[in-house]
Every structure is written in structure tokens, then in C-alpha cells.
Amino acid sequence: MSLLLRVLRHADEARHLSPADWDLLVRQCRHANLLGRLHQRLEAAGIDMPERARNHLLSGTIMAEQQHHSILREVGHLRDALSDIGLPLILLKGAAYVAAGLPAAAGRLFADVDILVPHARLGEAESALMLTGWQSTALDDYDQRYYRRWMHELPAMQHMFRGTALDVHHTILPPTSRLKPDARLLIEASVEIPGLPGVRTLALPDLILHSASHLFHEGEPDNLLRDLTDLDALLRQLGETPAAWDALARRAERLQLAGPLRLALRYSHRLLGTPVPARLLAELGCLKGGPRQRLLDALYLRVLETQHPSAADGLRGAARKLLYIRAHWLRMPPHLLAYHLAHKALFPPQADTRNLTADEKNAA
């Protein structure tokens, strides 16, 4: 278990670290996109941070505060755009945590706003957003088709002036997935955020189930540990009302998301020590073994870790690849999967680097 996970489990682990340990902790934390969140944990726990390490962690908090500020402004713009066509704004994931002021927002960094609109009104919503400056980001025709036919969201949009990114979902898993949560149930149960008329989020159990299904259907591991800490914060919040645990389990059944919930509770409990009633863990089969579970553990325990090289063993690369395939396997039937992977193999996406811009060099 990485130093970062140990400190996330018990902030007290950070009390007697050497400068070299702090160095490692900050690096592992940066690779997991958790600088701001760890900073707030350690502050809350009254841990004395050495100045150099604190500066890096504090930078993460300041960055997160700025992002939260701009997300809140964006939420206002989005609400206005959708209210023109009589739709409430329903926020998902990070934007929901921030707008509703949940503990899961603490120090969270993120790149985009995710919203949910009813499938029947998707076209209308897209038009209304385009009229206020949101544009589909340039993807090739294959990607446009892929999103519109097979995915639970439109191709990512970006605001032409403000540059902010937006994902418009009509449900929380691709319609081609084996699991088919009914988005109408999510919308019906959504709740208005106090003090923000016209802005809603999913109810807390649904936020948890969305976070869980996202965690185990995503092929991109770089933010998985961050997402697991989201889940941990949401579950701790839920746990303040003991009766809510059974409601969560029933809700998962109803939305066909008992599988993702089982894994979410298993790993959140095991890696982050999330307090989940033992009875529930047993009832949902969160603790069971068996060869299939051992294989899943071998994969998930490698990717639900900081992706910093110091926390890797020789199998991490393979685990990342297998989970990428598993995520796609869960998201689409075999013939579609074969076609999609073949296309991605033949036409790989552009590398994830960029030129140092003139500005940065001058800045540099």
C-alpha cells in the first residue's frame, strides 16, 4: 500500500515523516490529482506540514478553490441556458459536489462540468447550449457517430469564449452496457440545491451509485484513486444517517447497480477504511473471495492506487490494459467492442503532449 493511501486512511501516519517521505507523498499525491484534498485532510487533522511540502499541497487547494469559483459561475450560465427551454439544471459528479457544498468537494480538482438532461429533450438541450456559446469539440466523424449512437453522453462541449468544458449526459452508463439504470428514476429523485433555485443534483444515494458505476466502467485509470476518495466522502456522509445504508442497497437493486456498489464498498472499505456496516458488507457479498474476485482484486488494487511509478509493480501496465478492455466489455456488446477496438487500433488518437506555446516559453 502506497504512502499516500496510508496517509489517506489515517492522517496520523503523516505525523512523523522524514523530508524524503514528504517528497514521496507529494509526488504520489500529484500523480493522483489529490494535492488539494490531502492538504485539507491534513489541515483538518492538525498535522504539522513542513513548509516545502505544504506549499505544494496548498497550491492544490488554491487551484481547487479557483476551479470551484469558476464552476459556480458556469452553473449560473448553464441554468439560464436550460431554463429558456424549461429544463432544470441537473448536476452530476464534481460540479454537483461543489454546488451542493458536499464534503466530497473538498480540494477536488476537475476538468469539466457534467450535467444530466432527459433523453427525449437531448436535441433541444444541445441547441439551447449551442445558442449560448457551447460547441462540440472537434472530433472526427467516427467519434461523433460513436458518441451519438452508442454513448450515454454527447461528445464533449466547450464554451467558445470561456473555454470551460461540458459533458451532457442523458443517462449514467452507455445504453449498450449490460447494466441499464433508468435515468428517469434518477431525474425523478433529484433534489434542488438549497439557495440555488433551478439547480438540482442527484439524491445522495444516486450520487454514490453514479460514482460507483463510473469507477468500474471507466477505462482511464489516472483519476481512479481520486474518484475512490470521492466515493469515500459520499459514503461517510451517507453513514451519518444509519438507516440510509439499507435504502442505498435497495436503490442499487432498483437501478441495476448492485454490482458496481458491491465493488465500490469492497474497495473503499479495504483501501480507505470507509466505515460501512459489517452486516451490509456481508449481505451484499462485498467480502467474498473466489477466483473471479481474486482476478478483479489483482487488477483493481493496482489501478486504484496512485499512478506514480513508486507505487507500481511489474504488472501495473498489464492491469491498466486489462481494465481498459474490461471497461469497454461492460460498456458494449462483443461485436461493437471488436469494431471499436479495431478502429482505435487502426487510427490511434493523437498523443497527449503539446508544444510549449509561445506564451509559456516567454513565461519560461
Partner 1 sequence: MRIRDLSPADFLARLGADGVRLAAGPFNCRLQSGIPEIAEELARLYAHHPLIGADDFIDFHVGVRPGQGLRRWLRPQAVFSVDAVEPFTPLPRNQALAMLEWGLNWCITAYSQHLLVIHAACVARGDRAVILPAPPGSGKSTLCAALANRGWRLLSDELTLIRLDTGEVMGLARPVNLKNASIDVIRAYAPEAFLTRPVHDTTKGTVALMAPTEASVLAVGQWARPTWMILPRYRPGVDARLEPMGSGAAFLQIADNAMNYHILGSHGFAAVGRMVDHCRSFNFEYSRLDEAIAIFDRLAREAEGDAP
The answer to the question of residue 214 lying near partner 1 (CB under 8 A) is no
Out of 275, 309, 317, 333, the only residue in the binding site for partner 1 (CB under 8 A) is: 309
The answer to the question of residue 353 lying near partner 1 (CB under 8 A) is yes
Please report where in the chains the cell 458505476 appears, as a residue: 213
Nearest distance, CB of residue 156 and partner 1, angstroms? 21
Please say whether the beta carbons of 60 and 36 come within 8 A: yes
Q: Give the range of 13-21, 152-160, 261-269, 286-294 binding partner 1 by CB under 8 A.
A: 13-21
Please report where in the chains the cell 469507477 appears, as a residue: 215
Concatenating the DSSP letter of every residue in 160-191 gives TTT--EEEEESSSS-TTSS----HHHHHHH-E
Residue 240 or 359: the one with the smaller Cβ distance to partner 1 is 359
Angle between helices 204-217 and 224-238 (to 10 degrees): 160
Concatenating the DSSP letter of every residue in 196-260 gives -TTEEE--HHHHHHHHHHHHHH---GGGHHHHHHHHHHHHHHHTTSTTHHHHHHHHHHHTT-HHH
Residue 345 or 362: the one with the smaller Cβ distance to partner 1 is 362
The C-alpha cell at 154 is 454527447
Q: 3-state class of 136 per DSSP? A: strand
Nearest distance, CB of residue 40 and partner 1, angstroms? 15
Residues 77-116 that bind partner 1 (CB under 8 A): none
Residue 63 or 281: the one with the smaller Cβ distance to partner 1 is 63
Residue 89 or 224: the one with the smaller Cβ distance to partner 1 is 224
Residue 222 or 297: the one with the smaller Cβ distance to partner 1 is 222
Please say whether the beta carbons of 224 and 92 come within 8 A: no
The answer to the question of residue 58 lying near partner 1 (CB under 8 A) is yes
Phi, psi of 3 (to 5 degrees): -55, -40
The answer to the question of residue 320 lying near partner 1 (CB under 8 A) is no
Cα separation of 265 and 286, whole Å?
7
Residues 26-55 that bind partner 1 (CB under 8 A): 26-27, 30-31, 50, 52-53, 55
Residue 68 or 200: the one with the smaller Cβ distance to partner 1 is 68
The answer to the question of residue 20 lying near partner 1 (CB under 8 A) is yes
Out of 9, 11, 13, 23, the only residue in the binding site for partner 1 (CB under 8 A) is: 23
The residues near 356 (Cβ < 8 Å, ≥ 6 apart) are 364
The answer to the question of residue 145 lying near partner 1 (CB under 8 A) is no
Q: What is the CA radius of gyration of the chain?
A: 21
Please say whether the beta carbons of 63 and 183 come within 8 A: no
Per CB under 8 A, residues contacting partner 1 are 18-20, 22-23, 26-27, 30-31, 50, 52-53, 55-56, 58-60, 62-63, 65-66, 69, 308-309, 353-356, 358, 360-364
